[in-house]
Structure 1
Amino acid sequence: MELIIQLVAGLVGGNAAGAALKNLNLGPVLNSVIGLIGGLGGGQLLSMLGVGGAGEAAAAASNLDIASIVQSVIGGGAGGGILVAIVGAIKKAMGK
């Protein structure tokens, strides 16, 4: 369940970053795809660092609590937004 939350949060975070950073915007399709990837990566990174997310939820045998949901949303949204900003900056730098 946390993976789905991370993917959706990454999708939203990627599109929000694209909307907020007009000069790094990749368009709605690329923002969404990169946001999904970043959301999954960001959530998994928090899990590996021991902050929470999918790893703890799997160990707890699908015991879904509000803390793991919030951590998945934060990790996924931040991961999606950050990855869109990074890819947008690289694309902009290569265009010069």
Structure 2
Amino acid sequence: MDIASLLVQVISGAVGGAGAGAAAKQYSLGTIGNVIAGAVGGGITGQLIGNFAGQMIEGWVGDIAGGAIGGIVLTLIAGVIKNMMAKS
């Protein structure tokens, strides 16, 4: 695990999470919540996808894509869960 790759994945995940929250307001966790969920998702998923995507997409592009996708997915999943919990 390269620390620079992890940092890029966390930052791109935070940006992806913030973008997902802005685009899907019904699933938003608030600005800080979106950024935190995105950063966590970007770091975790970026590492998981990074190994796979690293063979197809080299370098920073794979790190950015993996982090952003992970940030978007985790933010939206957390938003859906939050909405489901609020309705019960």
TM bin, normalised by shorter chain, reads 0.7 to 0.9
- The higher radius of gyration belongs to 1
* Structure 1: stretches of 5+ with no match in the other structure: 54-65
What is the distance in 1 between the residues matched to 2:85 and 2:40? 21
Normalising to structure 1: TM-score of the pair?
0.81
After superposing on structure 2, the runs of 4+ consecutive aligned residues of structure 1 that deviate more than 6 Å are none
* Structure 2: stretches of 5+ with no match in the other structure: none
CA apart distance, 1:38: 0.3
User: Which secondary structure does the structure 2 equivalent of 1:3 belong to?
Assistant: helix
Does structure 1 residue 2 correspond to structure 2 residue 37? no
User: Which structure's residues are more often helix, by fraction?
Assistant: 2
What is the distance in 2 between the residues matched to 1:87 and 1:7? 17
Match of 1:89 in 2: 80
What amino acid sits opposite 2:35 in the alignment? S
Match of 1:61 in 2: none
User: Which secondary structure does the structure 1 equivalent of 2:39 belong to?
Assistant: helix
Match of 1:52 in 2: 54
Does structure 1 residue 26 correspond to structure 2 residue 26? no
What amino acid sits opposite 1:70 in the alignment? V
Give the aligned length.
83
User: Which secondary structure does the structure 1 equivalent of 2:59 belong to?
Assistant: helix
Match of 1:70 in 2: 61
Normalising to structure 2: TM-score of the pair?
0.88
What amino acid sits opposite 1:37 in the alignment? V
What is the distance in 2 between the residues matched to 1:70 and 1:28? 25
What amino acid sits opposite 2:13 in the alignment? G
